Chain A
Amino acid sequence: MAAAPAERAPLVFTHRENNTERVAALCETAGGLGLKTGMGLADARAMHPSIEVVARDPDANRAMLEGLADWCDRYTPLVAMDEPDGLFLDISGCAHLFGGEKAMLDDCLTRLFHQGFAVSAGLASTPGAAWAAAHHGHEPAIEPGAEAEALAPMPLAALRIPPATREGLHAVGLRCAGAVIAAPRAPLARRFGRDLLVRIDQALGRIDEPVSPRLPVATLSAERSLTEPVTGTEQVEHLAGMLAASLKPALEERGEGARALELALFRVDGAVARIALGTARPLRDPALVRRLFHERLAALESDLDSGFGFELLRLSVLASGPFDSRQSDLGGDNGKVTDSVAGFADRVAARFGSGGIMVPVAVESHIPERAVEYRSFIPDRPANPAKDYDGGEEPGRLLPERPIRLFSNPEPVEAVAEVPEGPPVTFRWRRALHRVAKAEGPERIAPEWWRSENDAVRDYYRIEDEAGRRYWLYRSGLYGTGGETPRWFMHGFFA
């Protein structure tokens, strides 16, 4: 695949190989001048001093190919990369949507041509034969069953075999693919290895060759292609709602709701934008889906460039979960997710990314900063009396004194204590000096030895300064153990 030439100097791309600049790719004009890939740059310059030389950029090449693969998603969800310059499209079961294989191929080639790509395509019932037709064939389409016949006149390279094997076959007089296919298999395998036979079998469809898609294939998806491209956010939202409505029966049939959704927007100029969002509880109501995309699009507004408009939209269900149907009351608005906290959490997450609404979850640890984790919202959290600090509702239990605010990273303070093991008398935190009026403690919290051996023992003090503010300070380490000098840290505020 090479970029179509414009009226300009012959263009060659070079790459470095064994300390020599070599031509990696060239344009048609340069090809017409007798330049070839693989020749040294110095030779090429000597032949044609006017050529324009650009260093090859494999990353940009790959990004371009990925962009194209994204664009090809419109034909089939099974698109695989064939580096460095090819794509495999598994169109089984998709061709009828475009009016047959031939029409689909024509449509694809026409669109790519208008985007400025010179593409050669192959269409066959096996990936190997299609590859051969694309690279070395005269006719793009190979009828099922006619692979051997079509491959016969092609060069050895059409069998996707490494150059060393090719040279070996050439040396024994097998000069085209047909000759290799017709040759007895046992001597071939003995001399050139099993890989050659595997390639032949793959091309002829005797064994299966899996094409591994680059993106996971969605369980369900609905798409809509538009005659007139849309640009406005409201229109995109509206279409997302319509697509969600067409997905709803399929989800109902499966008894599921969507947990993760992706809206793919195919722009007229070939760029594809993908907007993904997750939900706290499985949902299938089109209005809610539309609402979530409304938030997401509002947050993306500046990042989503609609250019000349989107011509194809696809909504895919990337993950689904069992949908618990609820009996609504006669008012009809019972269990409405719009009003529920889960719906709220979804909207916040859709707008600001995951981790919008967080809930504290108790963790089995006595180290204060590890005792609680903040996770994104989970609906219907079961009450867990063993792990929830249900101090207020369980009168018999006495909870340890803990600050209401905790610094995720304890901040160092300079403290002066009367006795080494005692509470501080004054301490300096964030450049301000605090005089201690009252202190309670220490509460000794030992490190979790099963995690790390380097953590020091902490002695926590509840401290009230002269202004009445209450802090949680700790001394890390002990005196007289020969280790590091103990240091003081501020870890939190009490109410």
Chain B
Amino acid sequence: MAVTAVAQETLCALRRQIARIEGVPAARLEPPADARRPQPADDGATVILRENGCAASLPEGMRMGAARVMATGIPDFDTLLGGGLPLAALSEIVAADTRDGGAAAGFALALALIAMADTGARDRLLLWIGEAEAFREAGRPYAPGLAATFGLAPRRLLFARARRLADALWIAEEAGRLPALGAVIVEIRGNPHRLDLTATRRLHRRAILAGRPVLLVRQAGMPEPTAAPVRLHVTAASAAERMVLDRPLPGSIGRPAFTITIDKSPTARPGSIAMEWNRDDQRLQSRQPPNPGLVVSPSRQRPGAAPAPRPRLADGRRAG
């Protein structure tokens, strides 16, 4: 996957061209120094913002919102995405198999929680809209599990089961106006015709105006053109072992882990990163490599020994 410098240059030129036509400021290829700072919108004087074919200026809040990114907390991943995932945007999360429905939903929830923490909306509600078929094939969201894995209290959860895709899209668009929501997850199955560029563009616009993410989780689907600036491909990854008393417990299943492959992003940089969800800190982190543990047991009495580590609790939290 070696992209030569010339090819990269050509790509950048083309992207600037597209940005000018679309009237959207081109995202930078390098991550900004401070990922949370809104990018200056007047990136180049040649960029004309167009709306319905006419040059128009976007409302200030919208422009800021569109440019704002949320750092996922994994530097490599954020660099590949150009600073982080767009905060107020439609982001697509694709799982190739129904079996990966757990991983895809888990990753979407992780992103939703990060976004809610990022916008200071920790007590806002999370709306999870699903096609009835998606809930039937991959199971319904299970509140006790969401509480145990993500620390999401049931009273912060709203579910909508839509019989048809059109209903799901209607609910998602209607939810766009609600300030009480912190994030919206729309789960669909396969590649329905109705979810075309126009439909996703509407969702994207609602997300921009509301200033919060709409996460489109696609089960058992193929990548197809949508208006979402970012598309991530999720597969489950083997979980690291559970840490018990500061050492891994062999054969145990620890934190939820995912392998995320960037399919589409403003920077167009491909990459695949394994990460895991840390419930206690409410953040994503790189998946820890299998810890070999202590090879030699250190002598307790040796001079200059480090103070005894604080005991860790069974689920990996530090005591105290």
Q: Which A residues lie at the B interface, using CB under 8 A?
A: 339-341, 344-345, 347-348, 351-352, 355-362, 368, 371-372, 374, 377, 381, 383, 388-393, 395, 398-408, 430, 432, 437-440, 462, 464, 467-471, 492-495
B150 CB–A CB distance under 8 Å: yes
With A341-B158, A398-B314, A404-B149 in contact, do A467 and B142 touch (Cβ < 8 Å)? no
Q: Which of B107, B154, B239, B314 contacts A468 (CB 8 A)?
A: B239
How many angstroms between the C-alpha atoms of A469 and B238 in the bound complex?
7
Question: Known contacts A405-B141, A440-B253, A464-B253; is A389 also within 8 Å of B154 by CB?
Answer: yes
Chain A residues whose C-beta falls within 8 Å of the C-beta of B143 in the assembled complex: 360, 362, 372, 389
Scoring B138, B179, B239, B257 by chain A CB atoms within 10 A of each residue's CB, the highest score goes to B239
Task: Please pick, from B142, B151, B157, the residue contacting A392 in the complex, using a CB distance under 8 A.
Answer: B151
Q: Are A495 and B159 in contact (CB under 8 A)?
A: no
The docked-state distance in angstroms from the alpha carbon of A462 to that of B251 is 11
- Report the Cα distance A196→B278, complex, angstroms: 83
Known A340-B180, A344-B175; contact A467-B235, beta-carbon cutoff 8 A = yes
Is B139 in contact with chain A by the CB < 8 A criterion?
yes
Q: Is B144 an interface residue (CB 8 A)?
A: yes
CA distance A145 to B73 in the complex (A): 90
Verify A470–B239 contact, CB threshold 8 A: yes
Find out whether the CB atom of A495 lies under 8 angstroms from the CB atom of B105. Answer: yes
Closest A residue, CB atoms, query B102: A493
Bound Cα distance from A356 to B175, whole angstroms: 13
Contact B147 A392 (CB under 8 A): yes
Taking a contact as CB atoms under 8 Å apart, the answer to whether A372 and B155 are in contact is no
Residue of A395, A401, A404, A493 with highest tally of chain B CB at under 10 A? A404
* Complex-state Cα separation, A401 to B161, whole angstroms: 25
Contact digits for B231-244, partner A, Cβ 8 Å, 1 yes 0 no = 00001111100000
Whether the Cβ atoms of B277 and A493 lie closer than 8 Å is: no
**8 A Cβ contacts from B117-154 to A:** 125, 127, 136, 138-154
- Residues on the B chain within 8 Å of A348, using CB: 160, 171, 174
Question: Interface centre among B142, B279, B317, by most A CB within 10 Å?
Answer: B142
- Say if the beta carbon of B37 comes within 8 Å of chain A: no
Q: A348-B174, A392-B152, A493-B101 are in contact. Are A403 and B142 (CB under 8 A)?
A: yes
Query: Is B296 in the interface zone, CB < 8 Å from A?
Result: no
6 chain-A/chain-B pairs, Cβ below 8 angstroms? A358-B158, A359-B157, A360-B154, A383-B153, A469-B236, A493-B138
A470 to B101, CA, bound (A): 10
Q: Is B177 an interface residue (CB 8 A)?
A: yes
Chain A positions within 8 Å of B251 at CB level: 438-440
What are the residues of chain B within 8 A of A344 when measuring CB–CB?
174-175, 178
Q: Is B246 on the interface with A (CB-CB < 8 A)?
A: no
- Residue of B whose beta carbon sits closest to that of A441: B253
Question: What's the nearest-Cβ distance from chain A to residue B107, in Å?
Answer: 8
Which residue in chain A gives the minimum CB-CB distance to B258?
A: A495
| Contact string against A for B residues 166-194, beta-carbon threshold 8 Å, 1 for contact and 0 otherwise | 01001100110111110000000000000
In the A-B complex, the 5 residue pairs with the closest CB atoms:
A392-B151, A495-B106, A493-B102, A389-B147, A405-B139
In the bound complex, do residue B253 and residue A470 qualify as a contact, i.e. CB atoms below 8 Å apart?
A: yes
> How close is A231's CB to chain B, nearest CB, in angstroms?
25
Instruction: Chain A residues near B314: list those with CB within 8 A.
Output: 398
Q: Which residues of B contact A467 (CB under 8 A)?
A: 99, 235-236
Q: Which residue of A lies closest to B107 (CB)?
A: A495
- A489 to B: closest C-beta gap in Å: 13
- With both beta carbons as reference points, the residue of chain A lying nearest to B123 in the complex is identified as A393
CB contacts (< 8 Å) of A371 on chain B: these are: 144
Q: A389-B147, A392-B151 are in contact. Are A438 and B252 (CB under 8 A)?
A: yes
The yes or no answer to B247 lying at the interface (CB within 8 A) is no
Asked whether A377 and B102 contact (CB < 8 A) given A389-B147, A438-B253, A495-B149, the answer is no
Q: Name B62-96 residues within 8 Å CB distance of A.
A: none
Using A368-B144, A438-B252 as known contacts, list a sample of 4 further A-B pairs with CB atoms less than 8 Å apart, ordered by residue number in A. Answer: A341-B178, A362-B154, A393-B153, A495-B102
Chain B binding surface SS class: mixed
Question: By the criterion CB–CB under 8 Å, are B102 and A494 in contact?
Answer: yes
* Cβ contact within 8 Å between A404 and B109: yes
Bound complex: CA A400 to CA B148 (Å): 7
CB <8 Å contact, B237 and A468: yes
Kindly provide the distance from the CB of A428 to the nearest chain B CB, expressed in whole angstroms: 13
Give Cα A355–Cα B163 distance, bound, in whole angstroms.
Answer: 11
How far apart sit A440 and B314, CA to CA, in the bound complex (Å)? 14
State in angstroms the CA–CA spacing of A469 and B235 once bound together: 8
**Minimum Cβ distance to chain B for residue A363 (Å):** 10
The one of B99, B158, B315 in contact with A359, judged by C-beta atoms closer than 8 angstroms, is B158
**Residues of chain B contacted by A470 (CB below 8 angstroms):** 102, 236, 239, 253, 256
Partner of B144, one of A345, A372, A494: A372
Contacting pair A389 B180 (CB below 8 A) = no
Given contacts A360-B157, A389-B143, contact A352 B102 (CB under 8 A): no
- With both chains docked as a complex, state the minimum distance between the C-beta of B275 and any C-beta of chain A, in angstroms: 12
Chain B contacts for A405, CB-based, 8 A: 101-102, 105, 138-142, 145
A404 to chain B: closest residue by CB: B145
Give the CA-CA distance A364 to B305 in the complex, in Å: 50
Given contacts A352-B167, A405-B102, A470-B102, contact A492 B159 (CB under 8 A): no
Given contacts A440-B253, A468-B257, contact A358 B160 (CB under 8 A): yes
Among A388, A393, A398, A404, contact of B142 (Cβ-Cβ < 8 Å): A404
Q: In the bound complex, how far is the Cα of B140 from the Cα of A402, in angstroms?
A: 13
Q: Does B100 contact A (CB under 8 A)?
A: yes
| Distance, CA A361 to CA B153, complexed state (A) | 11
Identify which of residues 214-242 in chain B touch chain A, using a CB-to-CB cut-off of 8 Å: 235-239
B260 contacts the other chain (CB 8 A): no
Distance, CA A467 to CA B238, complexed state (A): 7
Any A CB within 8 A of the CB of B103:
yes
Chain B residues with Cβ under 8 A from A430's Cβ? Answer: 98
User: A339-B179, A469-B236, A470-B253 in contact; A352/B162 too (CB < 8 A)?
Assistant: yes
Bound Cα distance A467, B142 (Å): 23
In angstroms, Cα B145 to Cα A362, docked, is 12
Q: Is the CB of B170 within 8 A of A351?
A: yes
Known: A351-B170, A389-B153, A468-B238. A432 touches B99 (CB 8 A): yes
- Find out whether the CB atom of B149 lies under 8 angstroms from the CB atom of A494: yes
Residues in A neighbouring B171, C-beta threshold 8 A: 348, 356-357
Contacts of B175 in A (CB 8 A): 344
Residues of B within 8 A of A357 (CB): 127, 158-160, 171
From B98, B155, B252, B257, name the one whose CB has the most chain A CB atoms within 10 angstroms.
Answer: B155
**Contact A404 B106, beta carbon cutoff 8 Å:** yes
B149 and A440 contacting across the interface, CB-CB below 8 Å:
no
Q: Is the CB of B238 within 8 A of A437?
A: yes
Whether the pair A403, B239 counts as a contact (CB closer than 8 A) is no
Does B106 contact A389, Cβ atoms closer than 8 Å? no
